[in-house]
Amino acid sequence: MKKLRNAGIIGTGSCLPDKIVTNQDMEKIVDTTDEWVKTRTGISERRMTDENTATSDLATVAASRALENAGLGPEEIDLILVATVTPDVMFPSTACIVQDNIGAINAAAFDLEAACSGFLYGLAVAENFIKTGYYKNVLVIGAETLTKLVDFTDRNTCVLFGDGAGAAIVSEVPEGYGILSSYIGADGKGGKLLTVPAGGSRIPSSVESVLNRLHYVKMDGKEVFKFAVKIMGDAAEKALEKCGLDKEDIDFLIPHQANRRIIDASIKRLKMPNEKVYINLDKYGNMSSASVAVAIDEASRKGLLKDGDTIVLVGFGGGLTWGSAVLKWKSIGRD
């Protein structure tokens, strides 16, 4: 049997809108307090796009930064995967829009929808395209403008989300490095816990759907919370088991950034010291599929990820979905 290649991240980039919306700003919009949001979620502020900026705009900047970081030209990309629940339009895909924007003329392009687990799903797809030798360079992007889909009269959801994009280039890496294992899963029974009911083929957009606010995010926060606390630990352990490692082997944890209390439960279960866990939800809120992607880029650029470190990525999201990966880190950029 032909030996599989090793797939890993060779470049990252991210993009956040300039506009900062603090909890104090949210107090003026909806019946909430800075104290409630901070203690129940850990979020202090989030970023928000303006009316002229769409998901592909953030994705394009993140992608260009990842290309630069990897030292690759856009024509060297074979596939663009955009994980998003907030595409620019129903179709064409946001990935095709990004392909045009960056001039990746040799790339196939498609979107992938796994809500907040989207980037981890994308990484698993890219890993397999590289391992088998089907493609050489895959650009995986997690990009969202969720502030355009949340109902700013619903305090249960509007304080939680923010906009942003993160990108990673997945290519062949030296033996012993890269993605050691990945794990993705879903439970469609929980789909109704987190959904945007209208705008698709079940309830097409209409005056009535808009009046009933059905084109906004609806969430059963308590049920999602219970699911998240369990699945984050389960998924991380499953990915570790798949590559023969244990929680004691983790050097750095990058969890999905939805709620500080969910992250704390994972830290406890995986017995991680706080300083070995990347947290940026205080500044950005939950950026869905962009959360883990932005976190990797920031952690890498801050020099927090060292050559040879075992890094665990883990997340969960609507669907319900979950995903995790174990990486053996190799400094970003080509040798």
Q: Which residues are catalytic?
A: 116, 256, 286
Which residues would be at the binding site for ligand ACO (CB under 6 A)?
32, 36-37, 40-41, 115-116, 155-156, 159, 194, 219, 221-222, 224-225, 228, 258-259, 286, 288, 317-318
Closest approach of Cβ 321 to ligand ACO, in Å?
A: 8
C-alpha 75/C-alpha 104 separation (Å) is 5
Nearer to ligand ACO, 59 or 219 (CB): 219
d(CA 41, CA 269) in angstroms, rounded, equals 19
82 pairs with which residues across the strands? Answer: 111, 141
Residue with smaller CB distance to ligand ACO, 98 or 159 = 159
The nearest distance, CB 268 to ligand ACO, in angstroms, is 17
Structure tokens at 306: 């060292």
Q: Which is nearer to ligand ACO, 12 or 84 (CB)?
A: 84
Report the alpha-carbon distance of residue 38 to residue 265 in Å, rounded. Answer: 17
CB of 115 to ligand ACO, least distance (A): 3
* C-beta closer to ligand ACO: residue 98 or 116: 116
Q: Give, as one character, the DSSP assignment of residue 271.
A: T
DSSP 91-107: SS-HHHHHHHHHT-TT-
Provide the token pair at 268.
């406890």
Between 11 and 42, name the residue whose CB sits nearer to ligand ACO.
42
Helix axes 260-269, 34-41, angle to 10 degrees: 20
Can you read off the two tokens belonging to residue 28?
């003026």
Cα 225 from Cα 227, distance rounded (Å): 5
Between CA 258 and CA 14 the distance in angstroms is: 18
| Residue 216 CB, nearest approach to ligand ACO (Å) | 13
Nearer to ligand ACO, 74 or 142 (CB): 142
**Beta carbons of 44 and 282 less than 8 angstroms apart:** yes
Three-class secondary structure of residue 181 per DSSP: strand
> Closest distance between ligand ACO and the C-beta of residue 325, in Å?
18
Cα–Cα dist 57/60, whole Å = 5
> Nearest approach, Cβ of 256 to ligand ACO (angstroms)?
7
- Cα(320)–Cα(304) distance, rounded to whole angstroms? 31
